[in-house]
Structure 1
Amino acid sequence: MKKHNFSAGPSILPSEVIEETAKAVLDFNGIGLSILEISHRSKEFQAVMDEAEALFKELLNIPEGYSVLFLGGGASLEFCMIPYNFMEKKAAYLNTGVWAKKAMKEAKAFGETVEVASSADANYTFIPKNYEIPADADYFHFTSNNTIYGTEILEDPTCAVPMIADMSSDIFSRPIDVSKYACIYGGAQKNLAPSGVTFVVVKNDALGKVSRYIPTMLNYQTHINDGSMFNTPPVLPIYSAMLTMRWIKSLGGVPAMEKRAKEKADMLYAEIDRNKMFMGTAAVEDRSRMNICFVMTPEYKEFEADFLKFATEKGMVGLKGHRSVGGFRASCYNALAKESVQALIDCMQEFEKTH
C-alpha cells in the first residue's frame, strides 16, 4: 500500500532526493567512499557546499551583500544566536505560537524584549494585525509559519527596523523579498532536508553592531569567514538539501512551489469546509498552506480516534494533530504530491458516507 506522508517534521522528501542520498551513502560520486566518511574539507564536499549555497541564492533571488550558512543546532540554537548577534538594547517579537514564544524567551536574557502582539489567548488560532513595532528596537522577529497551529504569514511584512524571521517550515514555498530582512533562518527538516542542518541567510552589514562579546561558535561572522566550515558541518543533510534545491529548480523554482502549495491547500481546505464532520481550527484569513490543522465538528467529536485509525489503514501517515491542539494536521510540504492530498480527501469523504 502506498504511504502518504503528512508528518510535520522530519517530513517528506522528494523520492529522487532519498534515492540519490542513499546512493551517496554507499558510494559518493563514484569515488569509492561513502559521503559519511569523506573529509568535509575535501574538494568533493567543497563542491557540494558551493552548489548548495549557490542554489539557495538563486532560488530565493538573494541580493548581493548576504551570506548563506549551513550550521548545526537547529532553529532552537538560533533563538539565542539572533539576540547574541543583533540585540544591543531592545528587540520586538510577534508571539504567534510555541516556537515564537521560545525565541522570545531566549531574547529576554539579552535585553528588553517587547511582545508587540500575541494570539495566545485564542490558542494561537490567528495572526495578530495592526501592532506597533518600537522605532528604537534593534530588530523585529516573527515566525512565518506556525506548524502546530496551522497559521502562516504569507506576505513579507514591512517595518522600519531590521527584520528577522524563522522560516523553518515554509522556506521555498513562496517567493521572499530577502532585501527586507536582516536575517532568515530555519531548521531544514520540514521543507528542505533531513534533520541536522540549519540554514541562515544573513545580511553582512547588519552584523558587528553589538558591543558584547559573542562566543566564537555563536558568532555569525565566524561562520561567514570560514564558509560554514569553522567546525565539521552536518555533511549528509547539506548534501540532501543541495539535491532538494536541484529538484525545486528542475520543477520551475519557488514560483512553481507556490503554485503547488496553493493548489494542495485549496483542495484540502475546500473539503474541510464542505464536509459536515470536520472543521478548520485557524482563522480563514491566516490559514497555513504548509500545515493544515482541522478537528471533528462537535457533534462528531466521538469519531476522532475512529477517523485516525481509518485514515492510517488507508495509508495516511503523520495525521495526528499536536497534543496542544488535538485533532488532525496534514503537513503539505513541497515534496508532498497532489495525489496524496486527494487520497486524504477521498478518505474524509468515505468516512463521511459510512458514519
Structure 2
Amino acid sequence: MTANTEPALKPERPFFSSGPTAKHKGWALSKLQTGSLGRSHRSNVGKARLKHAIDLSKELLGIPEDYLVGIMPGSDTGALECAMWTMLHPDRPATVAAWESFGNVWIQDAVKQLKLPRLTTLDADYGEIPDLASIPQGDDVVFTWNGTTSGAKIPDTDWLEADREGVTINDATSAIFAMEMDWPKLDATTYSWQKVMGSEAQHGMLILSPKAVERIENTDPVWPLPKLFRLKKGDKLNRAIFEGATINTPSMLATEDYILALEWAKSIGGRKAMFERADANAKIVTDWIEATPWLRNMVPDPAQRTNTGVCFVFQGDYYDSLTEEEQAKVPGRIAKMLEDRDVGYDFNGYRDAPPSLRIWCGGTVEQEDLKRLLPWIEWAYGRLQA
C-alpha cells in the first residue's frame, strides 16, 4: 500500500472513543430486559435489578465479601467526589496525586473546594508518574489508577502499605475490568459504567472497605454536604444504599444496559478474560507505535503504559517542519478524515493533552477492528504530507 492508496478493509465496528466506549460485539437494544422500565426504582422489581447490578459487579471484580458496593449519581466524578467529601477532613494530612486532566480535577477539589490545610499535591507531566513512594503512609491519599487522558498508569501498589494509617481513595474508572485491583490496599474505589464496560453514562460505582466505612461513620464533614453525597443515616452508614436503595433516581434503562454488559463479560470468562482482551488489544497498538518511526508512545516507560486508552504523539522530519499551530491540528485532521469515511470515531487526543491520538483498547473492542484501523491512520498521515 502506498501513502495515496486507501486500505481495502474498514473496521466493522469503528468505535474507538475512550468514553463512552464501544458496546461489546453482539450488543443490541432488543437484548435489554425491560421489566423494570416504567417502574419505580423503589419497587421490588427496581431494587432487585439494582441489587443484581451490584452483586454482579462484586462477583466479577473479585471484591472482598466485607466490602460494600453502591450505585452513585454523577458517574465516576460523583462517586469520587462523594468519597472525598465524606472521608477527608481538615485535621488530617492528605496527598492528592495527579498526572493528567481528571486527576488534576481532584487536586482542584482539594485545594479550592475543600481547602484542606494539611494538603500535599503531587503532579507530573502527561506521560509521566509522580514519585508515589514519597507519600507518607499516614496521609489520606487520592489518586487515579490509570490516567485516562495520558495513558499512564501506576505500575504497582508497592508504595501503599496494607496497614497504612491513612485512607486510600482510588479513581479506577478507566482501569477497572482491565487491570486487577489490589483490594486490601484500597479503601474507596470508584468507576463509571461507560468506561471499560461500554455501558451508558451518568451512573458511578462506589466501593468501600471496612476501614472506609469506619472513617465515614467517624467523620462529620465541616463543609456543606449535598444530598447526593449523604451516605449516613444518623451516625451510621446507610447500608441500604449498598443494597440497591440509591440516593436519587437512577435510569433503569442504563441499569439494564450495564447488567447486559456484565452478563456478557461473565459469559466470556469474567474479568480475567477482559484483562486478556485489553492486553492483546493494547499490544497491537503499542507494537505498531514502536514500529512506526513518526510516532511515539506518550508514556516512555513500558511498565507505566495503559492497556485501555493508548495515547501517542507525532515526531519526525515532516512533523518537526510544521509550526506549533500546524502540529496541534495534525491529530484532529487525521481523526476527521477517518470519521468522514466511517473508519474510526472519536479517537482524537483529549483537549487538554499534548496534540495526540488516543485509541481505546478495552475489552469491548475487537482485535480485528484495531488491525484494520491502523493502516488507515498511516494513509491519512500520508495524505497530510501529499
Which of 173, 182, 185 aligns to 1:180? It is 185
Q: Does the 8 A contact of 1:79 with 1:102 survive in 2?
A: no
How many Å separate the matches in 1 of 2:311 and 2:186? 28
CA shift, 1:350, in A, is: 4.8
SS class of match (2:371): helix
Range moving further from structure 2, 342-351 or 299-308? 299-308
1:210 — aligned with what? 219
Q: Does the 8 A contact of 1:291 with 1:332 survive in 2?
A: yes
Which of 281, 285, 309 aligns to 2:298? It is 281
1:94 — aligned with what? 97
1:225 — aligned with what? 240
CA shift, 1:288, in A, is: 1.4
How many Å separate the matches in 2 of 1:17 and 1:288? 25
For the structure 1 residues 3 and 212, does the alpha-carbon distance in structure 2 shift closer, same or farther, using more than 3 Å as the test? closer
Range moving further from structure 2, 292-301 or 94-103? 292-301
How many Å separate the matches in 2 of 1:336 and 1:277? 25
Equivalent AA in structure 2 for residue 296 of structure 1: F
Structure 1 gaps, min length 5? 30-34
CA shift, 1:328, in A, is: 0.9
How many Å separate the matches in 1 of 2:220 and 2:67? 22
2:202 — aligned with what? 196
Equivalent AA in structure 1 for residue 220 of structure 2: S
Which of 15, 19, 42 aligns to 2:29? It is 19
For the structure 1 residues 178 and 116, does the alpha-carbon distance in structure 2 shift closer, same or farther, using more than 3 Å as the test? same
State TM-score, norm by structure 2: 0.80
For the structure 1 residues 247 and 113, does the alpha-carbon distance in structure 2 shift closer, same or farther, using more than 3 Å as the test? farther
Percent of aligned positions that are identical: 21
SS class of match (2:219): coil
Equivalent AA in structure 1 for residue 21 of structure 2: S
How many Å separate the matches in 1 of 2:193 and 2:14? 20
Where in structure 2 are the equivalents of 1:70-219 lying within 5 Å?
Answer: 70-88=71-89, 89=91, 90-108=93-111, 109=114, 111-112=116-117, 114-119=119-124, 122=125, 124-129=126-131, 131-137=133-139, 139-157=140-158, 158-159=160-161, 160=164, 161-192=166-197, 193-203=199-209, 204-212=213-221, 214-219=225-230
2:335 — aligned with what? 308
- Offset from partner CA, 1:162-207 (integer Å, 9 cap, x none): 2110111121112212221111012222123211111110123342
2:59 — aligned with what? 58
1:32 — aligned with what? none
Cα RMSD (Å) of the superposition? 2.5
SS class of match (1:112): coil
State TM-score, norm by structure 1: 0.87
For the structure 1 residues 224 and 300, does the alpha-carbon distance in structure 2 shift closer, same or farther, using more than 3 Å as the test? farther
2:325 — aligned with what? none
Aligned residue-pair number: 342
Structure 2 gaps, min length 5? 1-9, 323-329
Equivalent AA in structure 1 for residue 314 of structure 2: M
Q: Does the 8 A contact of 2:103 with 2:143 survive in 1?
A: yes
How many Å separate the matches in 1 of 2:254 and 2:378? 38
Which of 252, 271, 292 aligns to 1:235? It is 252
Q: Does the 8 A contact of 1:97 with 1:148 survive in 2?
A: yes
Equivalent AA in structure 2 for residue 132 of structure 1: S
Q: Does the 8 A contact of 1:91 with 1:112 survive in 2?
A: no
How many Å separate the matches in 2 of 1:80 and 1:307? 36
Which of 8, 20, 30 aligns to 1:10? It is 20
Runs of 4+ in 1 over 6 A off after TM superposition: 352-355
For the structure 1 residues 305 and 205, does the alpha-carbon distance in structure 2 shift closer, same or farther, using more than 3 Å as the test? closer
1:248 — aligned with what? 265
